[in-house]
Amino acid sequence: GQQVMQIPQYQHVQEGEDFTTYCNSSTTLSNIQWYKQRPGGHPVFLIQLVKSGEVKKQKRLTFQFGEAKKNSSLHITATQTTDVGTYFCARSIKAAGNKLTFGGGTRVLVKP
């Protein structure tokens, strides 16, 4: 089926270090969205990428959309304990009525 794969599933990061999580699709995407879900909470929208090769930054978070619009990445610099949570990418495909399909998420744990 039309899925998005997120890697890694789990990320243990030392506080202060950088890490990257990836989102891959076998089909071309209309757009990609990223969400963060804190433990016990609900998903919160972070960013939407629409253009090929697009890069957007939010403080220590850098989001990138691949040139072929089939993959995306989230890079976090100088990880803090507040970054703990699960990061989901969600893809939208025009042919599927623009519904969002969520990836399985990357669960981030931060070691102080």
Partner 1 sequence: NAGVTQTPKFQVLKTGQSMTLQCAQDMNHNSMYWYRQDPGMGLRLIYYSASEGTTDKGEVPNGYNVSRLNKREFSLRLESAAPSQTSVYFCASSERGSGPQHFGDGTRLSIL
Q: Which stretch binds partner 1 (CB under 8 A): 20-28, 60-68, 72-80, 94-102?
A: 94-102
Using rule CB under 8 A, residue 103 touches partner 1: yes
Using rule CB under 8 A, residue 48 touches partner 1: yes
Q: Give min distance, CB of 90 to partner 1, in A.
A: 8
Separation between Cα atoms, residue 14 and residue 5, nearest integer Å: 24
Q: Give min distance, CB of 70 to partner 1, in A.
A: 17
Q: Counting beta carbons within 10 angstroms of the beta carbon of residue 20, is it exposed (0 to 12), middle (13 to 18) or buried (19 or more)? A: middle
Q: Which of 14, 26, 30, 80 binds partner 1 (CB under 8 A)?
A: 30
| Strand bridging mode 106-111 / 10-14 | parallel
Separation between Cα atoms, residue 80 and residue 75, nearest integer Å: 13
